Structure 1
Amino acid sequence: MWTTFDFFVLFAYLLASVLLGLWAGRRQQSATDYFLGNRSLPWGAVCLSVVATETSTLTVIGIPAVAYGGNLSFWKLTLGYVLGRVLVSVLLLPRYYERALTTAYGYLGMRFGEGMRTAASLVFLGTRLLADGVRLFATAIPIKVIADQLGLATSYLEIILVVAGVTVLYTLIGGLRAVVWLDVMQLFVYLGGALATLIVLGLNAPDQWWSMAAQAGKTQLLVPGAEFSPLRWLTEPYVFVTAVIGGAVFSMASHGTDHLMVQRLLACRTLRDSQKALIGSGILVMGQFALFLLVGLLLWVHYGGASPQELGLSRTDEVFPHFIIEGLPPGISGLLLASILAAAMSTLSSSLNALASSTLFDLYERWRGRTMTEQQSLRVSRWLTLGWALVFVGFASLFESTQNPVVELGLSIASFTYGGLLGAFLLGRWNPKVSQRQAIVAFVASVGLMALIVLGVWLRPDGQVVLAWRPDPVRIAAEGLRSLAWPWYTLVGALLTLGLGSFPLLRHSFKH
């Protein structure tokens, strides 16, 4: 049960996080220092920061939920993640460092024009609001589980307001330097908490727990009957082909075109440091995914395969927080919950910093039309950070009604626009004849078409394509409808952008 000592550990850890963030980010002098750490951050810290940002709360509570309700096939995505980061380090990072860019979208501005840079930045802002709104909502899940068990009447919105308020405190003052070093600390703490959980669960598990899980199909890495079925490649996200290819393209987009990650890579001292940080983060993520999937597997053994409803819970994402309260020794429960909160705070602070950075460099400075002093730019940067924090709270409260595992929801939302962004970068990289107008039309059309594909295109078991705008659950069950697996979203979006952007040139070539 939750004890006074757990409350003390939680409070002390959150206070230490804020103080460390304020200390690490002291003496900011300009917007470049505030958003890029004066381009002097060590690659090891950046590597760990990338890992902490992308895995945070969604990993801590979401991936165990995937294993609890399914099996270990989710892990195959990490193979694609490593491959995608290698491609980014070769194809995109050298271009960013050649031009000493402040944001990823500065490259599109140089290649196509400022209109394309603005369009990409606006899409990035919208995507981050939705995807990280899920992350902020996910933070509230374990806190609400604790509050409910203690008899405290607390809503998700109230929790979100408190977490966002604490986070914005050190982000406003500390900037990227504070965010990165706080990420490093959070990473070690929540990995330590996960290892402690694994030990507690393992010591209390029956000797044949792996055999028990295997007999129930929980240890499978390959999806039975799907690995050699092209139709199921399209509809099941963790089939080997889908996970590796889709995961690689998704990783190219998330770590090569999403300013949330690119911002950190631009803060390294050299291109080589940036490449080491990026590829190293992929290898670390493989280990993290394995760790949290094993936690979910042992939770399934611990609870005898009970459904969340049988445990008095409403969703699989609440199973791990439930165990933190009732299954861990005093002190460890408080530390693990503190690490979940702090990891979420580091992700939120990263998003706030990246959103404010893109808004300032990609939009505000260009629209303002005149140069600001260093102090003016720093002041505007902090106001933008505060403004985005308020918007985040509103977006996070939209996801309370969803029943999907939050980790899948977060990845699916990002995939809507990642394909268009990646396609635009590749279009500029490989096709020198494409104009800004063609690129913008292709980019915007790709994002719109992806929304139609994701929400309106379904497949029947016989392979027939059905067009239906968000059909009701009864029809989905009756006809066996399946949507396109989310790892394919990014690849399809990128191909649409490349095809639409190149089509006018191909048509012109045929005429001549």
Structure 2
Amino acid sequence: MQTLDLLVIVAYLGATAWLGLKLSGRQTGMKDYFLGGRNLPWWAVCLSVVATETSALTVIGIPVMSYLGDISYLQLGLGYIVGRVIVAYFMLPRYYNGEMVTAYAYLGQRFGQTTQTTAGVTFLFTRLLADGIRVLAAAIPLKLILGGMGIEAGYFTIIVVLSVVTIAYTLIGGIKAVVWVDVFQMCLYVGGGILSIAVISAVSGGGWFGDAVDAGKLAVFSFEGNPISSPGSFVASLLGGAVFAMASHGSDQLIVQRLLTCKSKVEAQKALIWSGILVFVQFSIFLLVGLALWTYYEQASPASLGLTRDDEIFPLFIIEGLPPGVTGLLFAGILAAAMSTLSSSLSALSSSTVTDVYGRLRKKAPMTDEEGLRVGRWATIGWGLAFIAPATVFQSDEGNIVILALGVAGITYGGLLGAFVFGIANKRARAADANVAFVAAIAVNAFFFVMEKYVTGEVWVAWQWYPLMGVIVTFVIGGLLSLRHPAPDTEEPVKTAER
């Protein structure tokens, strides 16, 4: 690792902040700050959605999956496409029915204030934990970089620096800055993956692909194992992945906020569906990176290479296998992935804080546009600093960092998606029914997650099933409770007072 690499990384961080501020324009109110004036092109939103859900988890976490196994992770990508199509035509039209700023505004219309606030607070807590892990994923390779240069920096210091830089352009530029920087960042880290494959192919003469074929590592579909407890099985990946995508892209403000920046519902649908195709291609690229590394390191285990985490295998190659300057550029790509997700989270967290929590709990006159903008910016700063805590706590976890983040997010995804679908499908349901069912769904998923990670160490239910399990619990409990109320006479959803 050379000084030139560090200079490239520092230049990238500065250029990112400058680019975000330059492209953002002035923010005059909440609609500009949170929705970019609702005039962003669909292709930019599409790339922003992909960059938002990618993060450093994909860049450093997915290659190790094929390095240690095969490319069956692509099954999940197929499920993601199916889930996006359902969201595009089933849930998006309801968000564009009116001037909604957050995904949870629909729940407020359907069930009332407490349900919207409950969903908003749940999103805030879950996003804080899941994206704290994503910040850690970016800190892992950066720590290796600095260590290779003789600079000892702890995770805490690195996390703070990443958070401050990202807060800067998110705070001033709003969602418009986030989307345009995401476009730039996605091109950088995907290009880095392709460049790594090209370098290894040049060194090995392209023999890595043949080695992978001979070893049976190009298997895409896996029908072995119990589909309930085997995360890599076809059924869990396709069906569970589809429901997971419905939850993450239909009820998570992180993604829905981007879709609401499009000019129309049709453009939002186009952005969402195409994002699924691009994610599948992106998964393929980084799985191929893992196969190439498997040959490059002569099938050695990460531990035998002196690594403390499996996730360090790709960062190790970037340090050892690439020329100066290019190494810095590749690490800048990893930082790009991390910062795109962090900035997206900050924007989504601040919008949900203002609309679903602050705006609902305040007792004074309705919130003005200027007040909402001011509170949103303070919320951006607060949440940016709050990411430091979970990122620091989860650094001791030794499991695959991708699975850890998805598992944490899946705990509440089922309840959130269940509440949306429940409100649409069950016309007699009231606020209390939805709230009790929502909490029960989260409790069930949290039980299985805690038992696996901290008690038994065994997988009872694969993480892909968490959203579907949450939906089922919500429908069963909410449906039983709704039987207390008479069925409505009309086909329109009942707007109820809270009981």
Give the TM interval when normalised to the shorter protein.
over 0.9
Which SS does the other structure have where 2:52 is aligned?
A: helix
Which SS does the other structure have where 1:354 is aligned?
A: helix
Structure-to-structure mapping, 1:236-315, within 5 angstroms: 236-315=230-309
Q: Check the 8 A contact 2:260/2:268 in 1, yes or no.
A: yes
Deviation (angstroms), 1:142 = 0.6
Deviation (angstroms), 1:445 = 1.0
Report what 2:346 is aligned to: 352
Which SS does the other structure have where 1:235 is aligned?
A: coil
Structure 2 residue 321 is the aligned partner of structure 1 residue 327: yes
Cα distance in structure 2, aligned partners of 1:109 and 1:140: 38
TM-score, normalisation: structure 1? 0.92
Which SS does the other structure have where 1:103 is aligned?
A: coil
Deviation (angstroms), 1:116 = 0.4
Deviation (angstroms), 1:254 = 0.1
Structure 2 residue 489 is the aligned partner of structure 1 residue 495: no
Report what 1:222 is aligned to: 221
Q: Check the 8 A contact 1:26/1:173 in 2, yes or no.
A: no
Deviation (angstroms), 1:215 = 3.7
Give deviations 1:278-313, integer Å, cap 9, x for gaps: 001000001000000000111111101111121111
Deviation (angstroms), 1:69 = 1.8
Of 443-452 and 82-91, deviating more is 443-452
Q: Check the 8 A contact 2:428/2:485 in 1, yes or no.
A: no
Tell me how many residue pairs correspond in the alignment: 485
Structure 2 residue 428 is the aligned partner of structure 1 residue 484: no
Of 242-251 and 207-216, deviating more is 207-216
Which SS does the other structure have where 2:308 is aligned?
A: coil
How well do the aligned residues superpose, as a CA RMSD in angstroms? 1.6
Give deviations 1:240-266, integer Å, cap 9, x for gaps: 111100000000000000000000101
Report what 1:43 is aligned to: 42
1:428 counterpart letter in structure 2: G
Which SS does the other structure have where 2:462 is aligned?
A: coil
Structure-to-structure mapping, 1:12-411, within 5 angstroms: 12-205=11-204, 208-223=207-222, 226-227=223-224, 232-369=226-363, 370-411=365-406
Cα distance in structure 2, aligned partners of 1:71 and 1:134: 24
Deviation (angstroms), 1:212 = 2.4
Q: Check the 8 A contact 2:201/2:207 in 1, yes or no.
A: no
2:476 counterpart letter in structure 1: G
- Identity score, percent: 51
Cα distance in structure 1, aligned partners of 2:119 and 2:357: 11
1:497 counterpart letter in structure 2: T
Cα distance in structure 2, aligned partners of 1:101 and 1:471: 41
Deviation (angstroms), 1:206 = 5.2
Q: Check the 8 A contact 2:81/2:277 in 1, yes or no.
A: yes
Of 444-453 and 365-374, deviating more is 365-374
Of 301-310 and 250-259, deviating more is 301-310
Cα distance in structure 1, aligned partners of 2:133 and 2:455: 23
Give deviations 1:90-110, integer Å, cap 9, x for gaps: 110001101221100000000
Structure 2 residue 428 is the aligned partner of structure 1 residue 433: yes
Q: Check the 8 A contact 2:49/2:255 in 1, yes or no.
A: yes
In the alignment, structure 1 segments of 5+ residues that lack a partner are: 459-468, 474-480
TM-score, normalisation: structure 2? 0.94
Give deviations 1:355-379, integer Å, cap 9, x for gaps: 0100001111122232343333222
1:323 counterpart letter in structure 2: F
Deviation (angstroms), 1:470 = 4.2
Deviation (angstroms), 1:207 = 5.0
Which SS does the other structure have where 2:398 is aligned?
A: coil
Report what 2:492 is aligned to: none
Cα distance in structure 2, aligned partners of 1:361 and 1:289: 34
Q: Check the 8 A contact 2:208/2:291 in 1, yes or no.
A: no
